[in-house]
Structure 1
């Protein structure tokens, strides 16, 4: 089935708007469709959430690029809004980065996030200790930009975890300085969106917006190390995208855990979709209409 999700051009049109777009992050076709039906103009396939939902594993680089692509194809086939995929470290050297770019494009993604952690990587709010050196980080991003020129037309979200990785060795100020240097370098190379992972304060977030040119993404992780701010506050700072990486996964897991408790106590959960609503979510009526027309 040909992917029907929005294209890189659609995503760039959204980013050209003077607003801060709320971007709930999904993990499968159903959650992506819920995001679209709520009226959100785009979504992001969270690596943490996919690892958890697909394999019950932590976000520590355990899923292969093949597994991420398989999840992504199903997800992109289910919606018409643009989807950004989590490309992690690019899954290898510069050649791997370029191949990952082309694979993500073929899977139907409109954008890809690439980061400067070593491999295997880990969740940015779970104690990142090491990133690649500057030369390797620049090489990785250069390879992605070159792949975009060669036909893998994706919006590149360039992420650095240097703020966390260098804090213990060099102190928080120097760690932030290094992170901002990398983001400026990524911007100069041609990255479309810049992403400072795990800033510790509103002051650090504002400095990022003041010093790094281009489109910027904020990451709002409940329980993480970054202050939780409203989209209005983030937009005023200078952010263009605000991602909620685990909100849907955590909410779904909470609801399922409560539903199991209710069933164990001999009752049906009070808060759930009705059967007609669930059928509508997976397009049962459209399927029946198609089958009915074929029958005649």
Structure 2
């Protein structure tokens, strides 16, 4: 049987762009899977927001992210999940532990970035990055862990150097990551289509685009992203933001005594989504005879 990493590698080798609505918990992952998407990224921003109600500023811990990743992978076993590993939660040795444990949790790939800890969301202020040599060594450590023992996971290497040192320096880091064996490359927050095209042309690896509405990178339609050379397009906040708007509208309706007007899933459909029919069927096998 092929592993999630092997299936993701095969998907990336085939023509076409993969759209990735990002998940943040088991239910959102299952909805993404049922909608027919093949790949998703478990967004650190969204997990921090939904699990802690806190900003993506390095406050959420490795243990909390790992626990969330296990739930996501178990709830949507057919979905190829990229786990957000942030900075690896420490030095190169911490990076290796993150890679190993994310592989055991069921992730197809793990994202490791070069920000200084505590990190920041890629489209917010206050970002700093570690030195180029340290960034390279952390990706080397990640790749070594991914290729050793029973681990089988792809490495998605991310740089945030565009915001700190400019585009050329960020591209040089991306090229370093390619030389170290990273499987997927992600330059966070290029400023325009020219930079996006130069990024894709400058690396010999599948490239990821991050589509954040209101962020620093242009929101381009999928056909244009594919034409530029991207293989993955992440939408990290789309589901969470849509859910927030829907919940606020529902709360306003309930406050006005209009709960019946709230658009919501049918109760039978909701029970099916979370697995009641399967539970009832399996439960019968263990009923004691009267």
**Runs of 4+, deviation exceeding 4 Å:** none
Partner SS for 1:280 = helix
What residue is the counterpart of 2:155 in the other structure? Answer: 156
Equivalent pair of 1:113/1:159 in contact (CA under 8 Å): yes
Q: Which moved more, 1:88-97 or 1:267-276?
A: 267-276
Asked if structure 2 preserves the Cα contact closer than 8 Å seen for 1:128 and 1:165, the reply is no
TM-score by length of 2: 0.96
Residue 99, structure 1, aligned to residue 90, structure 2: no
What secondary structure does 1:215 align onto?
Answer: coil
TM-score by length of 1: 0.94
Q: Superposition RMSD on alpha carbons, in Å?
A: 1.2
Give the 3 Å change call, closer, same or farther, for CA 211–135 of structure 1 in structure 2. Answer: same
2:200 match:
209
2:286 is equivalent to residue 294 of structure 1: yes
1:6 positional shift = 6.2
Equivalences for residues 8-19 of structure 1 within 5 A: 8-19=5-16
Name the structure 2 match of 1:140. 138
Give the number of aligned pairs.
Answer: 284
Q: Determine if the alignment matches structure 1 residue 36 to structure 2 residue 44.
A: no
1:238 to 213, 222, 229: 229
Residues 78-124 of structure 1: CA distance to partner in whole angstroms, max 9, x if unpaired? 01211100000011111111111111111111110000000010100
Return the match for 1:263 from 254, 258, 269. Answer: 254
Q: Which residue of 1 aligns with 2:87?
A: 89
Gaps of 5+ in 1: 167-174
Q: Report what 1:280 is aligned to.
A: 272
| Structure 1 pair 190–18 and aligned structure 2 pair: CA distance change class (3 A) | same
Report the Cα offset of residue 214 of structure 1.
Answer: 1.1
Unpaired runs of 5+ residues, structure 2, are none
Q: Is the 8 A contact 1:6 1:83 kept in 2?
A: no
CA offsets 1:164-186 (integer angstroms, 9 cap, x no match): 122xxxxxxxx100000000110
The question of whether the paired residues in 1 share the 8 Å contact of 2:3 and 2:152 is answered with: no
The SS at the match of 2:88 is coil
1:176 aligns with 2:167: yes
Q: Give, in whole Å, the separation in 1 of the partners of 2:164 and 2:286.
A: 58
Distance (whole Å) between structure 1 residues aligned to residue 12 and residue 263 of structure 2: 36
